[in-house]
Structure 1
Amino acid sequence: MIRYPFLKKNATIGVTAPSSGVGIQNAELLTLASSRLKSQGFNVIIGETAWKQDKAKSAPANVRGHEFNEMIKDDGIDVLIPPWGGELLIEALEFIDFDALQDKWIVGYSDISVLLLAVTLTTGLATAHGANLIDLRGEYSDDTTALWHAVLETPVGESIVQHSSLKYQREWQHDVPSPCVFHLTEETYWKSLTTDAVTMKGRLLGGCIDVIRHLIGTPYGKLQHFQQEMIHDEPIVWYLENCELNTADLRRSLVQMKLAGWFENCSGIMFGRSPANRPVDNYTAEDIYAELFEELKVPIVYDIDCGHVPPQVTFINGAYAEIEVADGVGTVKQYFYE
């Protein structure tokens, strides 16, 4: 059974950094994001780790785990949103008290997806793959990003629809701030390996493949247990995004997932737009998608709104979803079914 938190009005956001904090050089971004959210009616409590950064992490793993535990148990905090991702969240997993997790949304992407997927697989608590806190610092958000709180306000038993964006950001321009944070200049087009319309149905799971692949073989990556005990062998739709892997490493990672049984009872795979996907000896990402399609015989779509090339749809790990893609336009309907 999947448990869905509910985001109430005027919620209190807890900001902790189980991966990377902002450090002195980016403290103003965290301050601005907090100010913007407060102006929208949220309360914001920022933990000590969020301000820090040294040696590729916000703090030692046990400190990160302890602060996360304190915030998830704090009745005065309703939702946890880290400032952004990072590199070494996986170090903190062994210090997180999975048995004491309250039903609160945990939101983020990039390295945060390690925590999101581990929580859902281990406990059945739904988690939200979407904007990090720093992405919410704009005077306003684009239509795709802005739906994050509407998704988290969906009651159990009901559904919510999101559509592909109209435009996406080709590259980050941190030195050129804009009112809506992202510089949306390129036309969005969700692609598939066929010319026909594509439909996928199943329970959503996913994240940044660079990091979630490292859950395989650990106590936090028991997918088969999740399938059997929590979703009773319903099919899975995977959403995956690639931050830094070249195509050979991406292929290795997908083969590892396949050999580990992570694609068993899979009804489709979606790949986000990627700033990486560097070809190796003319071996392209499209080649990989085609090979995976032949091996798994399931629909595959790519260049969707997910990951490090924003904006992104808010995907809920554990939710039942119906995805339709036709003529470059994607529609994602998520049902908060137990």
Structure 2
Amino acid sequence: MIKYPILEKGATIGVTAPSSGVPSELHHLLKSAFKSVEKKGFNFICGETAWTQEKEKSASAIKRAEEFNKMMLSDDIQLIIPPWGGELLIETLEYIDFENIKSKWILGYSDISLLLLAITLKTGTATAHGTNLVDLRGEYSDDTTAMWRTVLSTKMNESILQHSSEKYQKEWQPDNPTPYIFNLTEQTYWKSTVNEKVKIQGRLLGGCIDIIRHLIGTPYGNVQNFKENYIEGDSVIWYLENLQLSPTELRRTLVQMKLAGWFEECSGITFGRSPTNPTVTNYTVEDVYKELSKELQIPILYDIDCGHVPPQMTFINGAFAEVESENGQGTVLQTFK
């Protein structure tokens, strides 16, 4: 059985940086996020790592893990949200106290998705892939981003429905933030490898594919053990998003995932919008999706609301989901069972 944390009103958020911290010249972003989220009724306990950054990490692997472990054990903290992602969270995995992880939400994406997936696979505890803390610093959040609170407040055996966004952000404009931070200018349109309505169901697993692929073959990426011990024969829906991989590198990674058994008992795959979709001698990311869909004989949705091209839905690793898409729009119904 999956263990689902519950977000209560007035919860205290633990802020720690298991990947990258915030350099001094950007401390104002973190302070703005604190003010904005406090107005919504939350409290904060902030660790040292959130305020430091050197050599692509907030602190040593051991210090990052120790601070995270302490927050996970603390009864004063009900939710952990890192400032943002980074590059080298993988260094901390061997020091994370998976044996004593308490049932509390961890929310984030990018490099943080490595930690989220590892925790769910090893412990059966649900984790939340969605907004980071810094992107909550606006006066308010757009409708898609704002759903994180509702999703994390869902109780056992209840369901929560999310809809595809109306518009998405084509490029980051840090010097021109809107009241909800993002510049949502482009029409959202979910696409598919099949020319028909798509409806898939299964347990959600995923994250940034650039990062989570490094769990393959490690004790932290045992998908088969997770299936046998926590989801009682249910199929899996993978939600993935590509930050920097070329079509050929993406293809190699997906084949590796297939050979490692990650796509066995898989009912469908979804890919978030990507900020990088180059063509390699006429080989496109759409070709990659179509090849994989044909090989696995499953539908693949892409350009969904997930990842580095905001806004993004809140996906719960381990939750039972029904994903539907038709005519460019989509819904994700997650049930905490």
TM value normalised by structure 2? 0.99
Task: Give yes or no for the alignment of 1:16 onto 2:16.
Answer: yes
2:106 corresponds to 1:103: no
Q: How many angstroms does 1:278 deviate by?
A: 1.6
Q: For residue 222 of structure 1, what is the aligned residue in structure 2?
A: 222
Cα distance in structure 2, aligned partners of 1:233 and 1:241: 25
CA distance in 1 between counterparts of 2:247 and 2:196 reads: 26
CA distance in 1, matches of 2:228, 2:304: 29
Give the whole-Å Cα distance in 2 for the aligned partners of 1:9 and 1:18: 25
- 4+ residue segments displaced more than 4 Å: none
Structure-1 separation of matches of 2:178 and 2:234? 43
Q: Does 1:283 align with 2:289?
A: no
Counterpart AA for 1:322? E
The answer for the alignment partner of 2:157 in structure 1 is 157
Match of 2:143, SS?
Answer: coil
Ranges in structure 2 where 5+ consecutive residues have no aligned partner:
none
Shift of 1:25: 1.7
Report 1:230-309 matches (<5 A). 230-309=230-309
**2:325 is matched with which residue?**
325
**SS of residue in 2 equivalent to 1:4:** coil
The 8 Å contact of residues 245 and 278 in structure 1, kept in 2 or not, is answered as no
Find the residue that maps to 1:254 and give its secondary structure: helix
1:196 alignment counterpart = 196
Q: Equivalent residues in 2 for 1:90-129 (5 A)? A: 90-129=90-129
Q: Distance in 1 between matches of 2:96 and 2:293?
A: 37
For residues 77-117 of structure 1, what are the alpha-carbon distances to aligned partners after superposition, in whole Å with 9 as ceiling and x for unaligned? 00000000000000001111001100000000000000000
Q: How far is the alpha carbon of 1:194 from its aligned partner?
A: 2.0
Residue type of the alignment partner of 1:15: V
Letter of the structure 1 residue corresponding to residue 331 of structure 2: T
User: Which amino acid counterpart does residue 182 of structure 1 have in structure 2?
Assistant: F
SS of equivalent residue, structure 1 residue 217: coil
Distance in 2, Cα, partners of 1:199 & 1:30: 39
Instruction: Check conservation: 1:37, 1:44, Cα contact below 8 A.
Output: no
- Structure 2 CA distance, aligned partners of 1:142 and 1:309? 14
3-state SS of the aligned residue for 1:311?
coil
Deviation of the 1:65 alpha carbon: 0.1
**1:217 CA drift (Å):** 0.6
Q: CA deviation at 1:193?
A: 1.4
Deviations 1:4-28 (CA, angstroms, capped at 9, x unpaired): 0000001100000000011112110
Partner of 2:187: 187
SS of equivalent residue, structure 1 residue 144: helix
Q: Which amino acid aligns with 2:241?
A: E
Distance 1:177 1:160 in 2: 29
CA RMSD of aligned residues (A): 0.6
Query: Residues 65-76 of structure 1: matches in 2 within 5 Å?
Result: 65-76=65-76
Shift of 1:232: 2.0
Q: Which residue type is aligned with residue 171 of structure 2?
A: E
Distance in 1 between residues matched to 2:335 and 2:232, nearest whole Å: 16
TM-score (norm 1): 0.99
Following TM superposition, by how much is the alpha carbon of 1:195 offset from its aligned partner in structure 2, in angstroms? 2.1
> 1:25 corresponds to which residue?
25
Deviations 1:242-271 (A, max 9, x none): 011111111111011000000000000000
Identity of aligned residues (%): 64
Letter paired with 2:174: H
Offset at residue 233 of structure 1 (A): 2.3
Distance between the aligned counterparts of 2:158 and 2:215, measured in 1?
A: 31
* Counterpart residue number, 1:136: 136
- Aligned equivalents of 2:200 and 2:108: distance in 1? 24
